[in-house]
Structure 1
Amino acid sequence: MSFSLDLKAFADKAKGNVEQVVKKVSLDLLSAVVDRSPVGNPELWAANIQHRQANTAAADAYDYNVAIRNTVINLNDSNFTKSGKLKRGVKYAKKLTKTERVQNFNINGLVTGKDYVGGRFRGNWQVSFEVGETGVLDLVDPRGTRAKASGTQVIGQFQIGVGSIWMMNNLPYGPRLEYEGWSSQAPAGMVRISTTEFQTFVNKAVSELPA
């Protein structure tokens, strides 16, 4: 998955400060794409959602049965003394506490991804000139800090004459994240949304130029 932008067409708007505008726009685009990249969260995985829903339903069913049992007790006068107190040996059942729902019914449990650490996709954004990078980084970067820092270093070397600045993410599931709504964190993708803001980034960069 890649996109490239030729920013030379904005030379007039840049008032001769082409390099400065290109760098600022590219940094804003990089930041937008990285920040919109989803970070794997096992709690959002379908298998775990289904697991928690099933366990929550089981806990709710337990509490429902408790309510029925207590109602039956209340409807039977023989369970009470003349003063209206429960007779010895007759006890109301108790609904689950929050702790019991967690410990006994595992309503927050995971069936997969217990040791998973997200951030590999976010950390795999790479910036280059003219030709896109082709490799994959062995990097987990949940905040995107290292990806931004690396990209910023490359963008800082931009000079007039460079035709395109490429931002690449070569992880194989990138297209599914971008086009198939594979992540609830980025249902409309990352690149497509960020590129629609391109003109806004240009206008912002130009407005910040010295008078």
Structure 2
Amino acid sequence: MSKYSGLNGSFAESIRQFAEKAEQAIDATFREIVIEIGSTVIRMSPVGNPEIWAANVAYRTANKATADAYDFNVAVRNTVINLTDSNFTKSGRFKRGVKYAKPLTKTERDQNFNVNGLVAGKDYVGGRFRANWQFSIDTPADGEIEAIDPSGNATIAALMAQVNSLTIGQTAYIVNNLPYAIPLEYGHSKQAPHGMVRVTLADFQRIVDEAIRNNRV
């Protein structure tokens, strides 16, 4: 029996090493799932954009219509000039003092008619909703964050850093405590008409399967 003791010891060590790797793989899988879920929710979160607010769309539409009407009148005037023989010399040139009216330039449309103007949210910067996705372990985070993160990159980076301490058996929370989080989840924004959390949960099994494949022992 003694000549096999070394083999028994090696086998036990192999089991221990495999168990350690398996445990590490489980933790890594758990972390990858949480990171993918959190990152997806953050990326899908709408960012406030005054350009598409109803009041601003109506304002710009009315201004554009006024500018277009001006250009239409210019075109009519120039057509009348072309059709009036007395405006031309015998050689076909314009007589002194006769000239075409000029349509608006892009700058004139912007400055004189405010076709790209805003009546609401002139100083608004979107991204607070994305910045308010908070990760925590075992207890959901409370309160709101004043940060603004239009791209979501900083929020995702913070999530990835915090998830490094997560291990299997713990409970991971990703919450957004802003008062308009629930309305946004249920279609208040055209940027995310089907929400963020519900869409991500619908893809949950694929996220899990991919994480398992990536961390297989």
Matches within 5 A, 1:117-196: 117-162=125-170, 164-180=171-187, 182-196=188-202
Deviations 1:100-129 (CA, angstroms, capped at 9, x unpaired): 111211111111212111111000001123
Higher helix proportion (structure 1 or 2): 2
Gaps of 5+ in 2: 1-21
Equivalent position SS for 1:127: strand
CA distance in 2 between partners of 1:202 and 1:128 (Å): 20
**TM-score (norm. length: structure 1):** 0.85
Corresponding residue for 1:10?
Answer: none
Q: Which residue of 2 aligns with 1:7?
A: none
Aligned with 1:99: secondary structure?
A: helix
State the identity %: 53
3-state SS, counterpart of residue 17 of structure 1: helix
Instruction: Give unpaired runs (5+ residues) of structure 1.
Output: 1-13
Per the alignment, residue 102 of structure 2 pairs with: 94
Secondary structure in structure 1 of the residue aligned to 2:166: coil
SS of residue paired to 1:166: strand
How many angstroms does 1:16 deviate by?
Answer: 8.1
One-letter amino acid of the counterpart of residue 128, structure 1: S
1:85 aligns with 2:96: no
TM-align CA RMSD: 1.9
Report the CA distance between 1:34 and its aligned residue: 0.5
* C-alpha contact 2:64 2:115 (8 A) present in aligned 1: yes
Partner Cα separation in structure 2 for residue 160 and residue 31 of structure 1: 19
Question: How far has the Cα of 1:15 moved from its partner?
Answer: 8.7
- The question of 1:110 aligning with 2:118 is answered yes
Runs ≥4 residues deviating over 6 A: none
Q: 1:29 aligns with which of 37, 42, 57?
A: 37
Tell me what 2:4 maps to.
Answer: none
Is 129-138 or 32-41 further displaced after alignment? 129-138
Count of aligned pairs: 196
Matched, 1:20 2:21: no
Asked whether the 8 Å contact 2:31–2:167 carries over to 1, the reply is no
Are 2:213 and 1:203 equivalent residues in the alignment?
A: no
Bigger Rg, structure 1 or 2? 2
Report the CA distance between 1:150 and its aligned residue: 2.9
The letter of the residue matching 2:165 is Q
Q: Spell out, residue by residue over 1:37-72, the C-alpha distance to the aligned partner (whole angstroms, 9 max, x if none).
A: 112122122211111111111111100000111111
| In 2, Cα distance between equivalents of 1:188 and 1:105 | 37
User: Contact 2:30–2:167 at 8 Å: present in 1 too?
Assistant: no
| Counterpart AA for 1:166 | Y
Change (3 A) 1:184 1:33: same
Displacement after TM superposition at 1:135 (Å): 1.1
